[in-house]
Amino acid sequence: MVLGRVFLIVGLSLIGPLLIIQRATVLAFIARSRPTSTGTNAFHHKVPSSSLFSTTSSSSTETTKTKPPTVTSPAERAARAADTWTTVALQPTQSVRESIDLLKDAKISNEEAFKRFCRVKGTYYINGLASCKIGDRIMHPFEAHGHVKSFAFDGDGRLIYRGRLVETELAKQETSAQKPLARGVMSTVADTTFPSNLLNMVSSSERDTASLISFLWPPPSSLREEEVDDTGDDGDGAQEQFLICLCDNGEPYALDPKTLKTRGKLVDLVPHLEQILGGKKLLAHHRIDDDVLVLCASTLDVPGQDYMGNTTMEFFEFDNKFRLLQTKNYTTRFMVFHDWQMTQDYYVVPLNPAVMQWWPQMAEFLTGTGVGTQIFRMDETCPGAFILIPRDVTDTNVYEVQAKDFFNIFHFGPVNQRDEKLTLYGAAFDSYTFGREMGYEGANKKFDPIDWAESGDAPAPRLDKYVIDLKTMSIDECTRLPVTEEDVPVDMPCFSNEDGGVAYFLGASRPEGWFPFRSVVKMDLATKEAWNWDAGDSSVMSEPMIARDEALDTSFVLSVMHSADTKTCQLVVWEEPSFEAGPIATIPLGQLTPWCVHGVWYPGYNPI
Binding residue ranges for Fe cation: 285, 338, 411, 598
Distance CA 559, CA 533 (A): 11
**Residue 343: exposed, middle, or buried by beta-carbon count in 10 A (0-12, 13-18, 19+)?**
buried
Q: Tell me the pairing of strands 228-229 and 238-239.
A: parallel
Distance CA 486, CA 43 (A): 12
Largest interatomic CA distance in the chain:
75
**What DSSP designation does 171 have?**
H
Under a CB-based contact definition with an 8 Å cutoff, are residues 117 and 145 in contact?
no
Cis peptide leading into residue 360 (ω within 30°): yes
| b/e map 280-300, b = 16+ CB within 10 Å | ebbbbbbbeeeeeebbbbbbb
H/E element holding 199? helix 197-202
Q: Where are the beta strands (DSSP E) in 167-256?
A: 213-217, 228-229, 238-239, 242-246, 253-255
Distance of CA 132 to the CA centre of its chain: 17
Q: Where are the beta strands (DSSP E) in 366-420?
A: 376-378, 385-390, 399-402, 408-418
Question: Binding site: what residues are annotated?
Answer: 285, 338, 411, 598
Under a CB-based contact definition with an 8 Å cutoff, are residues 45 and 484 in contact?
yes
Q: Which of these, 133, 39, 41, 147, lies nearest to 96 by C-alpha position? A: 147
Q: Where are the beta strands (DSSP E) in 205-281?
A: 213-217, 228-229, 238-239, 242-246, 253-255, 262-265
Distance CA 592, CA 92 (A): 9
Three-class DSSP category at 445: coil
What is the CA angle 83-184-168, rounded to 5? 90
Q: Which of these, 406, 405, 401, lies nearest to 422 by C-alpha position? A: 401
Rounded to 5 degrees, what are φ and ψ at 181?
A: -110, -15
CA-to-CA separations, 237 to 154, 223, 231, 234, 272, in angstroms, rounded: 27, 10, 10, 8, 16
Which residues 6+ apart lie within 8 Å of 494 measured at CB?
A: 503, 504, 505, 543, 544, 545, 546, 557
Three-class DSSP category at 417: strand
